[in-house]
């Protein structure tokens, strides 16, 4: 029995996986993103979620062979690493677990814990890859000076394009009317009131405008199209940098997958693939196999030295609740 935990900014997901590829139980608890509420939040969330998933499966924490906890921001605040690493111990009653950043869940889910690279483009962006037991991260430096190719990055440049079009510094395009309608602007300058005053520059609210930039591009907006093109190029660069950092050779085939809402846009996916193959002609781009929480459970099995075999992985793929969107 392997426990996977995928922490996030909106929820924390739990999955108990059997070695035959069947799911014994799943549960959802509140977000484990603790910066606003304090680090004790993590323990409370883990207690709630582990208790619920064990009850569903009819087991106790002692019956879990190994667990993997993917927690948001893990590794980004050095002083918190020891506390986060110790948080599951008292809840489980044993040390058969590992804690790391939730980026590992996305990688493991997308590729079935196989060697390769996963690129994440949601509110933020980064890559994580593993090769021969060695992992490496690129990106994820925050929206203030990083997260290139992310939903926030795309939306922020869309807002900039709106302001330039409204002023007449750039030619007007469909993006103007798309954002006017979506944000119900009485006047273009009301954009400042919405984003700066009402939203207080909120990261998630700004990132949620990414689909509007995609809509504008679909309607033929040149500026929006260029933004998506640049986003795809930045995401491909994250992958290629990860490939080189992991030591892949010029002739090595590299598995690549993706996760995050930005990849819902067909133009982003297509241009991302095109940019990838310009950088390295041996990339094998694949659709995500499993959800991040299932990926966490697969990684737990791998860390325990008992990775699921091909039959178990195939059974898992046919489980509707386990497949990635």
Question: Is residue 274 domain-shared with residue 293, that is, in the same domain?
Answer: no
Q: Which of 92, 93, 124, 110 is nearest to 8 (CA)?
A: 124
pLDDT at residue number 321? 56
- What domain range is 47 assigned to? 2-112+289-318
Question: Is residue 57 domain-shared with residue 10, that is, in the same domain?
Answer: yes
Average pLDDT, the chain: 93
Question: Is residue 125 domain-shared with residue 269, that is, in the same domain?
Answer: yes
- pLDDT digits 0-9 by tens, 269-312: 999 999 999 999 999 999 999 999 999 999 999 999 999 999 99
- Is residue 144 a part of any domain in this protein? yes
Q: What is the pTM of this model?
A: 0.87
- Is residue 325 a part of any domain in this protein? no
- pLDDT digits 0-9 by tens, 58-117: 999 999 999 999 998 899 899 999 999 999 999 999 999 999 999 999 999 999 999 999
Question: Is residue 269 domain-shared with residue 120, that is, in the same domain?
Answer: yes
Question: Is residue 153 domain-shared with residue 210, that is, in the same domain?
Answer: yes
- pLDDT digits 0-9 by tens, 114-170: 999 999 998 889 999 999 989 999 999 988 898 999 999 999 999 999 999 999 999
Question: Is residue 130 domain-shared with residue 276, that is, in the same domain?
Answer: yes
Question: Is residue 120 domain-shared with residue 59, that is, in the same domain?
Answer: no
SS3 state at 309: coil
- Is residue 324 a part of any domain in this protein? no
Pairing of strands 2-6, 11-17: antiparallel
Question: Is residue 283 domain-shared with residue 293, that is, in the same domain?
Answer: no
Query: What are the φ and ψ backbone dihedral angles of 156, each rounded to 5 degrees?
Result: -60, -40
Question: Is residue 88 domain-shared with residue 223, that is, in the same domain?
Answer: no
How many domains is the chain built from? 2
Question: Is residue 99 domain-shared with residue 223, that is, in the same domain?
Answer: no
Question: Is residue 29 domain-shared with residue 79, that is, in the same domain?
Answer: yes
Q: Residue 41 sits in a domain of what CATH number?
A: 3.30.420.40
How many other CB atoms are there within 10 angstroms of residue 291's CB atom? 24
pLDDT at residue number 319? 75
pLDDT at residue number 15? 96
- pLDDT digits 0-9 by tens, 164-199: 999 999 999 999 999 999 999 999 999 999 999 999
- Is residue 220 a part of any domain in this protein? yes
Question: Is residue 127 domain-shared with residue 270, that is, in the same domain?
Answer: yes
pLDDT at residue number 323? 46
């Amino acid at each position: 029995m392997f426990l996977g935990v995928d922490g996030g900014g909106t929820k924390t997901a739990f999955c108990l996986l059997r070695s035959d590829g069947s799911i014994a139980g799943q549960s959802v608890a509140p977000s484990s993103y603790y910066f606003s509420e304090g680090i004790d939040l993590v323990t409370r969330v883990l207690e709630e979620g582990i208790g619920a998933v064990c009850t569903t499966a009819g087991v106790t924490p002692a019956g879990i062979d190994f667990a993997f906890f993917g927690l948001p921001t893990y590794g980004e605040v050095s002083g918190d690493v020891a506390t986060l690493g110790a948080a599951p111990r008292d809840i489980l009653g044993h040390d058969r677990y590992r804690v790391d950043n939730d980026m590992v869940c996305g990688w493991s889910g997308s590729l079935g814990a196989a060697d390769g690279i996963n690129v994440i483009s949601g509110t933020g962006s980064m890559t994580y890859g593993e090769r021969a037991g060695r992992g490496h991260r690129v990106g994820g430096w925050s929206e203030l000076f990083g997260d290139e190719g992310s939903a926030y990055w795309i939306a922020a440049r869309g807002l900039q394009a709106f302001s330039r079009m409204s002023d007449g510094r750039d030619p007007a395009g469909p993006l103007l009317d798309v954002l006017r309608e979506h944000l119900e602007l009485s006047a273009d300058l009301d954009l400042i009131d919405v984003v700066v005053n009402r939203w207080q520059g909120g990261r998630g609210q700004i990132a949620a405008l990414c689909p509007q930039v995609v809509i504008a591009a679909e309607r033929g907006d040149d500026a929006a199209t260029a933004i998506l093109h640049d986003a795809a190029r930045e995401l491909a660069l994250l992958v290629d940098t990860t490939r080189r950092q992991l030591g892949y050779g010029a002739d090595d085939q590299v598995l690549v997958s993706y996760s995050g809402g930005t990849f819902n846009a067909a133009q982003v996916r297509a241009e991302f693939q095109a940019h990838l193959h310009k950088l390295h002609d041996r990339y094998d781009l694949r659709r995500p196999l499993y959800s991040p929480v299932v990926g966490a459970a697969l990684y737990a099995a791998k860390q325990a030295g008992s990775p699921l075999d091909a039959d178990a992985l195939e059974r898992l793929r046919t489980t509707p609740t386990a497949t990635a969107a």
